[in-house]
Amino acid sequence: MPHRRWSILLWSLALAANSAALYMVFLYAPVEVQMGAVQKIFYYHVPSAIACYVLLFLAFLFSALYLWREEPLYDHLAHSAAEVGWVFITLVLVTGPIWGHSAWGKWWVWEPRLTSFLILWLTYSAYFLLRLFSRGDARAAKIAAVVAIVAFFDVPIVHKAISWWGSIVHPRKVVLEPAMRWTFFAGLASVFLLAAALFLTRFDIQRAEALRAEKEEWA
């Protein structure tokens, strides 16, 4: 494993930060008066959405670099970022309806933010199907890079959906009282550390697989 020390450090930090964040979520943050305890899903739901934006931007950036430089390293970085980003999209899509059902009485509403977010999940699912059913050669990597670049354009649409078209379930602005704000920052830090640790681990595995395949080709 090329980044073993970084991996151990990141995983240790992620574990400590997530333990602290979960303590704050369940025992420190106050219960919101109107929605009750379920509002505490917010502390992982929103940070997961922000983490997926960052990871999908990295996938976009590395895909563009791959098309430009044609170095497999960039393809591996893009693939890893997109995969971990997809996991965080899934987390948002799983926690959102659970919160929504409890708070608004509905699992799903076809409003712009939710619909564009579902499209994001479907687009990156198509990206992985493309990876899965291709031969894994340079041509497939180039097509995947184009898909990752095009798919990323849904991210600003998701982000701006509320200000462009409004929303019946998402507020335009959220004001948090101090204890809730600190818990949110703890959730944000822990989700980002977890995302970084998963990304580095996923990238290490991808590199090790590529090196092994190269060795087998030469043998």
Partner 1 sequence: MGVIVQKVLLLSLGAAGTPDTRGSLYLGYGAVAAVLILYGAYLFARWRRIR
Using CB under 8 A as the binding rule, whether residue 212 contacts partner 1 is answered as yes
Using CB under 8 A as the binding rule, whether residue 129 contacts partner 1 is answered as no
Stretches 61-69, 97-105, 115-123, 157-165: which one binds partner 1 (CB under 8 A)? 97-105
**Is residue 72 classed exposed, middle or buried when 0-12, 13-18 and 19+ CB atoms within 10 A define those classes?**
middle
Using CB under 8 A as the binding rule, whether residue 201 contacts partner 1 is answered as yes
Please give the residues from 16 up to 35 whose contact with partner 1 meets the rule CB under 8 A: 22, 25-28, 30-35
Distance CA 28, CA 197 (A): 26
**DSSP secondary structure of 125-190:** HHHHHHHHTS--SHHHHHHHHHHHHHHHTHHHHHHHHHHHH--SSS-S-----HHHHHHHHHHHHH
Among 94, 129, 138, 146, indicate the residue that binds partner 1 (CB under 8 A): 94
Let me know: does 195 contact 84? Beta carbons within 8 Å.
Answer: yes
Stretches 100-108, 121-129, 147-155, 169-177: which one binds partner 1 (CB under 8 A)? 100-108
Distance CA 162, CA 187 (A): 23
Query: Which CB, 172 or 216, lies closer to partner 1?
Result: 216
Which spans of this chain sit near partner 1 (rule: CB under 8 A)? 22, 25-28, 30-41, 44-45, 87, 90-91, 94-95, 98-99, 101-103, 194, 198, 201-202, 205, 208-209, 212
